[in-house]
Amino acid sequence: MEGPEVAFLSVQEQGNLEQAAKGYAQQQPQPSIKDLEKLLKEHPLTNLGKSRRKQKHSSDYHVFGTYAFGNHYGNTSRSRSLPELCRCVNRIMKHHLPSDMKWTSFAINSGTAMPTHRDVNNHAMYPNGSIGLGEYQGGEIWVEGLESVGGRSGKVTNREGPQGVELKGQEFDVRGKALVFSPKKWHGTCPWVGERWVITVFVSRGWDHLSQEERDELRRLDFPVPNCETQEAYPAEAQASIRERRKEDEKIRKKLYLLHCATGHSHPRHMIQALKRRGADERVLKLAEEFKCDVCKENQRPLPRNLAALEPLPPKLYTIGADIGHWVQPHTQMSYQFMIIVDEGSRFKAARILSSGSKQSPNAQTCLAYLQEGWVQYFGHPRALRLDPAGAFRSAAVEAWCDRHAVHLDIVPGEAHWKIGTVENAVRGVKELMTKLSHYDTEITAQEALAEAVWALNHREIIRGYSPAQHILGQAPDETGRFLPSSTDVHPNLLVENPTQEFERAAQRRAEAEKALAEWSAKQRIMRAQHSKHRPCYLFEPGELVYYWRTQDANKGRRQPGGKHGRFLGPARVLATESRKDANDQPRPGGSVWLVKGRSLLKCAPEQLRRATDREELMEALSSKSGEATPWTFKAVASEIGGNRYEDISTEVPPVAEWNRAQRIEEEAPPVRHRVRGKRPASQRQEPGNMEVEEEPRPEEEAEDDGRPLRERSRSRLRNQGPAGSTVEQPTAWWSGVPETKWPEQQTSFWNDKAAAVEVEFSFPQSQRGRDRAFQDLGAYFVGSMRRRAVELSERRMTAEEREAFQGAKAIEVKNFVASKAFEILPDHLKPDKAQAIGMRWILTWKLREDGSRKPKARAVLLGYQDGGYEHRATTSPVMTRTTRQVSRSTVETIVKANMLLAAAKGKKDHVMRIHSFQPDDTLTMVAWVDAAQGNRADGGSTQGIFLGVTTTKLLQGKIEGVSPLAWTSQKIDRACRSPGASEAQAAVNGEDALYAARFQWSELLYGNPNLHHPDDLVKLTGGCVVTDSRNVYDKLETEVLVIKGAEKRTSIELLAIKESQQNTQVCMRWVHSEAQLANSLTKAGSGGAREYELYYRMGHQWRLVEDESMMSAKRRKDLGLQPLQHAKASRDFNVVVEEE
């Protein structure tokens, strides 16, 4: 720093400035701000170095006192060159700043606008102090935070921070006024007009590293430096002692960690007790008390869960909770599922049994139907509905119902059941009361037990001095359980039909329910008293790296292998925290925490989170690719989260007129609906791949009529327009297609009466099966019944009159048959005897006459050939094969699929297999594409697909190369697979086995003389590659050492075969997404499963191994507009860089 500072001022300018400053410093009384302003105007501080001689700058920034630059510290040369100026400035600043304020440096800012920043080189323990000089307007200093600064409050404004985050702060006027603020807060300069100087004093972070001589130099320049008595006496020795002490402490901490590990990571208190018994030093004991183990923190269990959510009670009927309860009848062991609804403000409850059976659970539609019928029709729609994310409540129908009725849907975190503790306690109480009632009365039904339990909870439980029924209804029932006032005093026994039996039984049941409720309430109070203790408050900020506790892993139960009793999963980033209100109705954090983990957005409770340890944060930083950490910004979440749960509608901003119109429901015009009948003509049908987006018919005409602007739709129907844009087929009403001849010539006077109606009658099915089929679609049954002309009748169900009428019809039919002389036409030698005659049966129907009446109609039909001696003939029953058994289980759908398969095979009769020719200098290799489908077979088994081909090594470099097929198979996997990863591993092992055999045979053809004792030596002469689309298999085989752990230990053992082949025969593993997996067509059914094969055939038996560093799924690639065989590499900002061909 000495170089450029030599030319700070010329010698003559320094002398003049020093003489003037000395005069002001010795001036009596105390020099003022105006004197300093006059001094800076008469003697401007300008840089005269070579880098600035040829430029005229309107701003300069000069630091006096201590400086800190990296690991270099000291006093500036400006301070030594201008000592009188330093004394003058320090004397004036001491007069305007608090008396106890300390500083080691000051900066004179002449016309420099400082951006929003924090002073990283200033000491965090000492504040900054600033004063403005000059004639200017504006120029305030903006400081982050809304609290008062030094007893002053400024204008509240927002600024954008360096990372694009909006910051809230205040603007403070410093012209002639002192402002004291923290150097670690964001601050900056506001625009101004005029000539402006700002003097800022501060303590540099280099103060702790100055020598005694440099500190004495600052005191001679009248700097009010901080007090440091312990270091002023022996500064060098003190610094050395501190360094040595830190080294010794670090050695002790390492030994404590080794001792902690050697004792099995036991609790630190045991180590402290052992050290005390051994007479350890106080310094060692103090470090042992401060000792923390990252491994223990990572493996710790969360604290006991809360028993209640300490939130203010909402108003009555404002917030309701719902849950599904499962109850087993103790005598019959019959399972019942009931839904209970609880008002959190009054604890009023309503419940109903929705299903019965061990494997029957209510769906979302059933739950919503009861919610509408059992709660909404009595109390109206609530403002909030609180549910847990399980069962039927996870359906999108629940979300749609809440959106339709303006109900806030509050889904609590899966591991935070105390947030709906009101509902869950009600479920436990109802189940306990129902069980005790069933033990008391063995004949009571589940519906009666549920009704009695809910009655007891609503009328006998005390909530804030009143029962839930009194909170809602305003009064308690009378002794008969009625809420209606009685005008006459009638004895209660006269109000029931049988007072000695029914009333006594009901009263005893109610008494038993009240007794069970009293016992359960007492038990609950005792349990709450035993568990009443303080709970820590968890506060998390966005961006923190955390781990979350789960008692269930994906696809695993609580007691299944690998699930244990719960563990911490992660890492994940905190995206946002929900707030909740305290007793003063003020928001405070801690309600729920939203996390981002990969492509998932998780809602957790603060109690199930723990912050990542230092080791875990370091592992996360090292494992991230290209320095890319786990995303936690909203922009990153929007680009990373997949599926259909994210929808960007920020572009659909309505105009002001449209916004105002939508607020008035009476002006909202209903959409016009038309039904397009018939098919498009062949000339106007669209060709495949040339589809257009269809809009609703002529919306612009409707918009022009009412003056409303048009809005574009992201989803619309297919348009049916000709080349000129005209519609091919306009929507028409049903009566437009009726011929004119079918209409009556004159109008009937019957229909002039508005009350005129016609009754249509038809028979309803008598059997239960027929009624069930009719109730499935009643409208379709009505139409089918009206279309039906002749319905066969059963003679057993006819009345006597109908049976007599059909006897006459049969006689007429027999008479006509005999009159036709059918048997007499045959020659005599061909006429059969009576035993050879074919049987017949009657078909009886009603036939309509012209006048509308009906007459009976009987027809005789032949039954077909019947072998009279069939029961005496010898027959055999062959053993059924697998194909025969499958045919025996076949349905009409099976035949349809077989016909579709035959048609597809027939359509590809001209397909040929291409065997490529290669150049002599091409290096050939073999590639095996392997894929599997989990549980897709009729017996629950899995299917594997293996495609083995030979190509050049250029394919492994990402080029499009010809692949000659050698072998392919699609067959059932030998053993049952518990997960998709297990089936993919089986396919990979079997594919590598086939690849090994093919490489051996090819190497034997090229090189000959194989050594059967060492076949690997011959196999590795031909390259090999296994291609999979399973990340699980790929990740396990890409590790240096395959570790046998996790739930699928058998699968890991089987993968050791490929790991051994990687080491002995240099077979390589590659991962591709599902649409670039050539073996995908061998495991997927339907037309969609043959896409890869069709692409392979259209490309002339050529393929490519797609390179994708981010390992995006096929769905994610499709969303980004990438083709199946298009390369893509992930960049730092989560975008995708596409490599052109």
Residue 107 has pLDDT above 80, yes or no: yes
Q: How confident is the model at residue 793 (pLDDT cuts 50, 70, 90)?
A: confident
* pLDDT value at 1096 more than 50: yes
Retrieve residue 662's tokens.
């939508």
Residues 91, 98: contact at Cβ < 8 Å? no
Q: Are 362 and 343 in contact (CB under 8 A)?
A: no
Give residue 801's pLDDT. Answer: 86
Most confident of 549-558, 716-725, 1072-1081: 1072-1081
Extract the tokens encoding 1133: 């900002």
Q: For residue 822, what pLDDT is reported?
A: 67
**Which is higher by pLDDT, 657 or 1008?**
1008
Residue 134: pLDDT above 70? yes
Q: How far is CA 819 from the centre of its chain?
A: 81
Average pLDDT over residues 1119-1137: 65
**Amino acid at the residue 965:** P
Q: What percent of the chain has pLDDT over 70?
A: 73
Confidence of residue 560 (pLDDT cuts 50, 70, 90): very low
Winning range, highest mean pLDDT, from 111-115, 581-585, 638-642, 1024-1028: 1024-1028
Q: At what angle do helices 1031-1038 and 1056-1065 cross, to 10 degrees?
A: 50
Same-fold call for 11-49+58-221 versus 319-474+512-529: no
User: In 213-331, which ranges are E strands?
Assistant: 319-328
Class in CATH terms, 319-474+512-529 = alpha beta
> Within its chain, how far is the Cα of 1043 from the centroid?
31
Contact 449, 432 (CB under 8 A): no
Quote the pLDDT of residue 767.
84
- What average pLDDT does the structure give for the chain? 77
When mean pLDDT is compared over 213-217, 248-252, 823-827, the highest value belongs to: 213-217
Query: Is 913-1120 a CATH 3.40.50.2300 domain?
Result: no
Dist. CA 249–CA 556, nearest whole Å = 46
Pick the most confident of 469-483, 784-798, 1076-1090.
1076-1090
Q: Which residue spans within 382-440 are E strands per DSSP?
A: 384-387, 408-411
- In this prediction, residue 586 carries a pLDDT of 64
Q: What would the pLDDT profile of 917-959 be if each residue is shown by its tens digit?
A: 888 888 999 999 999 998 888 788 899 999 999 999 999 988 9
CB atoms within 10 A of CB 1104: 20
Residue 688 pLDDT greater than 50, yes or no: no
Region 231-253: mean pLDDT is: 64
Give me the percent of the chain exceeding a pLDDT of 90: 13
What is the H or E stretch that residue 852 is in? none
pLDDT(481) > 50: yes
Question: Which pLDDT score is estimated for 529?
Answer: 65
> Comparing 144-148, 228-232, 624-628, 894-898, which segment has the lowest mean pLDDT?
228-232
pLDDT at 689 over 70: no
Buried b (16+ CB within 10 A) or exposed e, 351-376: bbbbbeeeeeebebebbbebbeeebb
* 200 within 8 A of 106, measured Cβ to Cβ: yes
Q: What's the pLDDT at 728?
A: 42
How far apart are alpha carbons 911 and 930 in whole angstroms?
A: 24
Dump pLDDT digits (tens) for 299-329.
776 665 565 555 667 888 889 989 888 999 8
Q: Where are the domains of the chain?
A: 11-49+58-221, 242-299, 319-474+512-529, 544-554+563-624+631-662, 800-866, 878-910, 913-1120
User: Does 887 score more than 60 pLDDT?
Assistant: no
CB 97 within 8 A of CB 201: yes
- What is the mean predicted confidence (pLDDT) over 416-433? 82
Least reliable range by pLDDT among 218-222, 555-559, 748-752, 1116-1120 = 555-559
User: pLDDT value at position 634?
Assistant: 62
Beta-strand relationship, 187-189 and 141-144 = antiparallel
Query: What are 600-656's pLDDT values in tens digits?
Result: 778 888 777 888 887 777 777 776 654 445 555 566 665 666 555 555 566 666 777
Tell me which CATH code domain 11-49+58-221 carries: 2.60.120
Q: Does residue 698 carry a pLDDT above 60?
A: no
Give the model's pLDDT for residue 926: 94
Of residues 19 and 533, the one with the higher pLDDT is 19
Highest-scoring range by mean pLDDT, 494-498, 631-635, 1081-1085: 1081-1085
Q: Are strands 335-343 and 319-328 parallel, antiparallel or unpaired?
A: antiparallel
**Distance of alpha carbon 640 from alpha carbon 683, whole angstroms:** 44
N-terminal to C-terminal alpha carbon distance within the chain? 54
CA distance 348 to 459: 9
Closest CA to 941 of 901, 913, 974: 974
> Two tokens at 55?
């430029």
Is the per-residue pLDDT at 121 higher than 50? yes
SS3 letters for 337-380? EEEEEEECCCCCEEEEEEEECCCCCCCHHHHHHHHHHHHHHHHC
Backbone angles phi, psi at 150, to 5 degrees: 60, 35
**Using the 8-state DSSP alphabet, how is residue 481 labeled?**
S
Which of these, 580, 583, 543, 549, lies nearest to 564 by C-alpha position?
A: 549
Nearest Cα to Cα of residue 1130 among 639, 642, 641, 644: 639
**Looking at residues 779-791, what average pLDDT do you find?**
70
Does this model's pTM top 0.75? My answer is no
Q: Select from 1072, 1067, 945 the least CA-distant residue to 998.
A: 1067
Please answer whether residues 998 and 1008 qualify as being in contact, where contact means their C-beta atoms are separated by less than 8 angstroms: no
Q: What's the confidence (pLDDT) of residue 50?
A: 39
Cβ atoms of 398 and 368 within 8 Å: the answer is yes
Q: Percentages helix, strand, coil for the chain, rounded to the nearest 5?
A: 40, 20, 40
Q: Do the beta carbons of residue 472 and residue 316 sit within 8 Å?
A: yes
pLDDT in tens, 901-914: 888 888 888 888 88
Element holding 472 (H helix, E strand): helix 468-473
Alpha carbons 1089 and 1069: distance in angstroms, whole number: 24
**Residue 430 near residue 411, CB atoms below 8 Å:** no
